[in-house]
Structure 1
């Protein structure tokens, strides 16, 4: 599954176009490698996403083409959330 589609379905990022923009800015990495919106995501991958002053690391648990709002949180597990401090 494409990275931008997974981010939308899992509701980590609300819109696919926004997910594409964030990926194109180099703010998402999969298993430590900077990823593009078209990069394939597999179960077990570790995604690190930078939202402004926050960095979230999640593990992909499941891939689905669609998910209801209540089920979206089951597609991933949050490993780490950290604030980024500007030096």
Structure 2
């Protein structure tokens, strides 16, 4: 699954267009390197999201097309 779509499905970012812009501005890296929105997300990837002063690191646990609001946090684990 594309990175921008996964970020939207996991609800780490509300809209796919915002996720796309974050990737274009190199605010998101996977496994230590900046990636584009078309990056294929796989379980085990470590993503780092940078927004201003806040940095969020998560490990991808699952990749699913559709998931309910309550189940979205099960797609990733925060690494702190």
Identify whether the pair has TM-score above 0.5, normalized to the shorter chain.
Answer: yes
Measure how far apart 1:61 and its partner are: 0.3
Unaligned runs of 5+ in 2: none
Distance between the aligned counterparts of 1:34 and 1:57, measured in 2?
13
Aligned length: 80
Partner of 1:56: 56
Normalised by the size of structure 1, how large is the TM-score? 0.90
Q: Describe the SS at the equivalent of 2:21.
A: helix
Normalised by the size of structure 2, how large is the TM-score? 0.98
Q: Which has the larger radius of gyration?
A: 1
Distance between the aligned counterparts of 1:52 and 1:20, measured in 2?
17
Distance between the aligned counterparts of 2:8 and 2:66, measured in 1?
9
Unaligned runs of 5+ in 1: 81-87
* In the alignment, structure 1 residue 15 sits paired with structure 2 residue 8: no
Measure how far apart 1:52 and its partner are: 1.5
Point out 4+ residue stretches in structure 1 off by more than 2 angstroms.
none
Partner of 2:65: 65
